[in-house]
Amino acid sequence: MIVTPLTKLLGIRVPVVQGGMQWVGVPQLAAAVSEAGGLGILTALTQPSPDALRIAIRETRKITSKPFGVNITLLPSINPPDYEGYARAAVEEGVRVFETAGNNPAPLIKFFKSRGCIVLHKCTTIRHAKSAERLGVDVLSIDGFECAGHPGEEDIGGLVLLARAAKELKLPFIASGGIADARGFASALALGAAGVNMGTRFMCTVESPIHQKIKEKIVASTEADTVHIFRTLHNTARVFKNKVSLEVVRLERRPGGAKFEELRDLVSGVRGRQVYELGDPDYGIWTAGIAIGLIDDIPTCKDLIAGLESGVEDIIGQLNGLTQAKSKL
């Protein structure tokens, strides 16, 4: 059994958090992860309104009695969603674990802590993590450059970022980005993490709501099959390498670059959602981390987490054996 500050704080068996992925973090997946011993996460903004989030929370409770959380990601937007409404709805429905990410989370964090909630906050730099510590979060999620979605603008890989976190942070932290198997999980623990966050790996499970053809595409892909878009707009995002994302990159590389208005139709969230619904990997932009190079099957969440747990325990045992062998020399 793997016992860390994260398992103690959240009351979960295995220190694995499912990433809060747009269009993917729905009741069937979140409940399956929690039932398997990890922490499932509902993605608030996948739901069209705070009332719809209430329904999703109730649906999740029907299929698991285990702890689960809600992700609220604050994104740059001309017409921002009703973040406060989503937060209030989730708290009123009895959710006590929240994952926050994105711009200026202070008001949300203050609200959640005033209601006695546990807050995990995602960061891509140590300075942002220290700022979140001052805001009173309980756990930090440290996202390396390998992650899907937004890795920040400093391009620091997890190996160095996690080692820095262990040296400089006071709070427990979990590792995110590039983790999809027991080796990555064990490495994160060795670097000082209290657990791991996995997104792309949970996309490719039986309970994931995305189309089977997209799951099969993930299995067939390698770590070279992602690309960064929005680099020139200073809002870098790692997404699957397909016709649409390569066209975005081409436009950005033109002399003078590209304005968001020129890219809007290509990167439409509606098109991205339809990738998952229709099963055409070239239809729109969809996020994927380089962990796709480590994914070669489509297990149930139960089998995935059980395999991770036993695999990590085996690796720790092997490392312990190395230490014992040295002491006899």
Please tell me the predicted confidence (pLDDT) of residue 270.
94
Distance CA 308, CA 1 (A): 11
Please tell me the predicted confidence (pLDDT) of residue 324.
67
Please tell me the predicted confidence (pLDDT) of residue 323.
80
Looking at the chain, the whole-number percentage of residues with pLDDT higher than 70 is: 98
Q: Coil, strand or helix: which one is 90? A: helix
Which tokens hold the place of 27?
A: 């009741």
Q: What angle do CA 73, 75, 77 make, to 5 degrees?
A: 145
Listed in sequence order, the residues at least 6 apart from 120 whose beta carbon sits closer than 8 Å to its beta carbon are 17, 69, 97, 98, 99, 100, 137, 138, 139, 140, 141, 174
Mean pLDDT value across residues 87-113: 96
pLDDT surpasses 60 at 166: yes
Mean pLDDT value across residues 146-156: 95
Please give the model's pTM, rounded to 2 decimal places.
Answer: 0.96
Q: Residue 329 — pLDDT band, cuts 50, 70, 90?
A: low
CATH of domain 11-211+297-327: 3.20.20.70
Averaged confidence pLDDT in the chain: 96
pLDDT surpasses 70 at 328: no
Return contacts of 82-87, CB within 8 angstroms, 24+ apart.
82/49, 82/50, 83/108, 84/108, 84/111, 85/49, 85/50, 86/44, 86/45, 86/47, 86/50, 86/53, 87/44, 87/111, 87/112
Mean pLDDT value across residues 54-63: 98
pLDDT surpasses 80 at 232: yes
Q: Measure Cα distances from 263 to 72, 141, 260, 274, 288 in Å.
A: 25, 30, 5, 18, 19
Please tell me the predicted confidence (pLDDT) of residue 75.
84
Cα atoms in the 13 Å half-sphere on the side-chain side of 202 = 34
Distance CA 258, CA 253 (A): 8
Please tell me the predicted confidence (pLDDT) of residue 281.
98
Sequence ranges of the domains in the chain:
11-211+297-327, 226-287
Which tokens hold the place of 328?
A: 């006899």
